[in-house]
Amino acid sequence: MQAAPRVLRNAVMSLRGRADYKRWASSNGLEAWWEERTQQLAALVPVGSRIIEFGAGRRQLEQLLPADCTYTPSDLVVRGPGTLVLDLNTRPLPALPQIPEVAVFGGVLEYISDVRGLVQWLADSGVTLCVASFDPAPKELGHIARYRELNRRLYYGYMNHLTEDQLVQAFEAAKFRCVHRQTWTKQVIFQFHRLP
CB neighbour class for 178 (10 Å; exposed up to 12, middle 13-18, buried from 19): middle
Q: What is the DSSP letter of 108?
A: -
DSSP tag of 65: P
Q: How confident is the model at residue 38 (pLDDT cuts 50, 70, 90)?
A: very high
Helix 115-124 vs helix 164-172: crossing angle, to nearest 10 = 30
Measured CA to CA, the distance from residue 32 to residue 29 in angstroms comes to 10
For the stretch 73-126, pLDDT in tens is 999 999 999 999 999 999 999 999 888 899 999 999 999 999 999 999 999 999
Q: Is residue 71 within 8 Å of residue 51, measured between CB atoms?
A: yes
Q: Which domains does the chain have, with CATH numbers?
A: 3-194 (3.40.50.150)
Mean pLDDT in residue range 39-67: 95
The per-residue pLDDT for 55 is: 94
- For residue 31, the model assigns a pLDDT of 60
Quote the CA–CA distance of 75 and 196 in Å, as a whole number: 29
Q: Is 131 exposed, middle or buried (0-12, 13-18, 19+ CB in 10 A)?
A: buried
> Kind of pairing, strands 129-134 and 102-105?
parallel
Confidence tier at 25 by pLDDT (50, 70, 90): low
Q: In 3-state terms, what secondary structure has residue 80?
A: coil
Q: What is the pLDDT of residues 133-156, one digit of tens each?
A: 999 999 888 888 888 888 888 888
Can you tell me the distance from the alpha carbon of 49 to that of 67, in angstroms, rounded to the nearest whole number?
Answer: 9
- pTM of this prediction? 0.87
pLDDT at 154: 82
DSSP 8-state assignment for residue 124: H
At residue 157, the pLDDT reads 87
Beta carbons of 77 and 21 less than 8 angstroms apart? yes
